[in-house]
Amino acid sequence: MLKLLVAVAFMFGAAAAGNFSKDVTVTWGNGNGKILNGGQLVSLSLDKSTGSGFESNDQFLFGRFDVQMKLVPNNSAGTVTTFFMSSQGNAHDEIDLEFLGNSSGQPYTLHTNVFAKGVGGREQQFRLWFDPTVAFHTYTILWNSQRIIILVDNKPVRVFINYEAKGIPFPNTQPMKVYASLWNADDWATQGGTVKTNWTLAPFTAYYSNYNANGCVVSGSGNSCANSTVGNQAWQTQGLDANGRNWIRLVQSKYMIYNYCTDAKRFPNSTFPSECKLPRF
């Protein structure tokens, strides 16, 4: 099956990596978050007292955001490792990648969600088709004015299209920062909260490398994409071609374990959100 997946993969190019020391700030964790190797690596740790996290120094309105991650190995039940974007305020926008820990021998779950104008509830979950704790893998949020694409190892796993013209909110006006964190959520993260964090195994540690934020930086002086040398980049209009659509159909049929658009218990009598009735990509 893996050979088949690779054969139909749709590849997206990534820009050169940035430097954590210049691009992000560790904002919480009482020393559990560390920038290492001259800015090439971040370690985030979780113990019984606290997790840890960092955020980007810049805020963006659209862009492509890549990072490589190596997740907590062995028994990581109850832990959540994240890479996401968010604006501020009650009516905030947010694009989530959350990696839900597991008991030894069980697969990680990639939990994704999109908030627009303060409204979320657009969850899709996937089992990863590899062990994300053995080596670094690349995770990407591509966000332009037409769509959001979430990629794993440069392969699309989810698309959220801008249907604002049909009355469906889409994140396109509020600048967002990039965030990453490792925290405890054993009330829900592993098998619905039935498997708790084993604190005798703490500290739990995840690693981040090869971070790159290639986007429109918003600051008091304006938007960097107004500069002609920054504009007209591939990510600004990027979508899926036939190979990309084939890949995403395959990964969603084989590895998706939850889709809010098919949850009849949550949305009885076919009262699914409006975007669920429109083309997915």
Contacts of 40 (CB under 8 A, 6+ apart): 17, 19, 20, 209, 210
Catalytic residue selected from 98, 123, 164, 275? 98
Q: What is the CA radius of gyration of the chain?
A: 18
9 touches 155 (CB < 8 A): yes
Nearest residue to 176 (alpha-carbon basis) of 238, 116, 87? 87
Residue 157, Cβ neighbours under 10 Å: how many? 23
Distance from chain centroid for Cα 67: 10
Q: What pairing do the DSSP bridges indicate for beta strands 52-56 and 24-28? A: antiparallel
Q: Round to whole Å and give the CA distance between 251 and 242.
A: 14
- Among 55, 94, 164, 275, which one carries the catalytic annotation? 94
Query: For tokens 């893998």, what's the residue?
Result: 137
94: annotated active-site residue: yes
Catalytic residue status for 275: no
35, containing H or E segment? strand 33-36
Q: Which residues are catalytic?
A: 94, 98
